[in-house]
């Protein structure tokens, strides 16, 4: 992996070079082992929280971790194209539009002791802007090269806060063309439902049950690219103890091993069905 500026990353994409890089501000990573018709994203994987914000933040490190999506990059690491955030959503949220990406409060609790200065906000939003410049370049290249593209937008959610039974996997499809891509949406749901998991965990999968796919990453790509399907894919945090902050690496590994084959198969089937 090498450190590159945003312009250098975009230049490599435009020239169809393969590379593993971290942005020069250390806000996200991107790897391209091969230019293929699909990509994986993990925008909430990051936990970094720049030090100049620590004393002003009311939320504890654990409270931030609780709302992040740890290990979602790990679940798709074997695929040829992966882009993932390194910073915590509590600094700026890559899955929100720029105007709402910096929280004033988070899950009912005020975030800052004193409001952030314009300078502090601009530092964070500059990283948000840079990430989406790269996303635009990447999807432009994939649509140019293949005509069609599918993006697996990986997230996780805290299932223990729900007062009803919730699925292991949730697909949010409210902001994609559900009629055009109905077969691919349903086949992805079925694939997730068949995932074998350790420790007696049962894999269930539903569409728009806990979340509807309202994230900015999905909306940005869908609104800017007419031939790319984004599948907002949320796993309940069955791969950790979300209350005790204990990870279950054997569960994360099981997800990664299953998706290594089945995600690629789904992407290949998608491309054969929809290529233009």
Q: For 21-50, what is each residue's pLDDT tens digit?
A: 999 999 999 999 999 999 999 999 999 999
Closest to 116 (Cα-Cα) out of 161, 201, 50, 60 = 50
Q: Work out the pLDDT band at 107, boundaries 50, 70, 90.
A: confident
SS3 per-residue string spanning 15-80? CCCCEEEEECCCCEEEEECCCCCEEEEECCCCCECCHHHCCCECCCHHHHHHHCCCCCCHHHCCCC
Class at the top of the CATH hierarchy for domain 2-271: alpha beta
Phi–psi pair at 171, nearest 5 degrees: -105, 125
Whether pLDDT at 160 is above 90: no
Residue 197: band (very low, low, confident or very high) from pLDDT cuts 50, 70, 90: very high
Averaged pLDDT for residues 247-266: 98
Mean pLDDT value of segment 239-259: 97
Q: What is the mean pLDDT of the chain?
A: 96
Q: Express as a percent the part of the chain with pLDDT over 70.
A: 100
In angstroms, rounded to a whole number, what is the distance separating the alpha carbons of residues 106 and 100? Answer: 12
Q: pLDDT value at position 55?
A: 95
What pLDDT, on the 0 to 100 scale, is given for residue 71?
98
Of residues 56 and 109, the one with the higher pLDDT is: 56
Q: So what's the pLDDT on residue 146?
A: 97
Q: What is the pLDDT of residues 3-14, one digit of tens each?
A: 999 999 999 999
The model carries a pTM of 0.96
């Amino acid at each position: 992996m090498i450190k590159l500026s945003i312009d250098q990353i975009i230049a490599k994409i435009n020239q169809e070079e393969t590379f593993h890089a971290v942005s020069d501000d250390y806000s996200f990573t991107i790897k391209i082992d091969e230019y293929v018709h699909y990509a994986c994203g993990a925008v909430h994987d990051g936990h970094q929280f720049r030090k100049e914000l620590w004393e002003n933040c009311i939320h504890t490190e654990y409270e931030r971790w609780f709302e992040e999506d740890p290990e979602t990059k790990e679940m798709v690491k074997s695929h040829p194209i992966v882009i993932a955030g390194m910073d915590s959503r509590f600094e700026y949220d890559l899955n929100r539009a720029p105007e709402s990406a910096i929280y004033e409060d988070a899950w009912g609790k005020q975030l800052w002791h004193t409001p952030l200065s314009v300078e502090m906000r601009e530092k964070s939003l500059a990283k948000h802007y840079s990430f989406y410049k790269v996303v635009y370049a990447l999807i432009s290249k994939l649509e140019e090269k293949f005509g069609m593209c599918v993006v697996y937008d990986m997230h996780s959610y805290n299932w223990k806060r729900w007062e009803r039974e919730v699925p292991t996997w949730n697909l949010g499809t409210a902001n994609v063309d559900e009629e055009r891509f109905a077969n691919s949406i349903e086949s992805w749901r079925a694939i997730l439902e068949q995932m074998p998991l350790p420790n007696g965990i049962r894999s269930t999968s539903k569409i728009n049950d806990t979340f509807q796919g309202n994230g900015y990453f999905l909306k940005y790509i869908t609104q800017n690219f007419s031939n790319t399907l984004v599948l907002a894919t949320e796993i309940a945090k069955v791969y950790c103890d979300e209350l005790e902050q204990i990870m279950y690496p054997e569960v994360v590994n099981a997800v990664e091993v299953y998706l290594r084959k089945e995600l690629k198969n789904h992407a290949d089937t998608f491309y054969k069905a929809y290529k233009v």
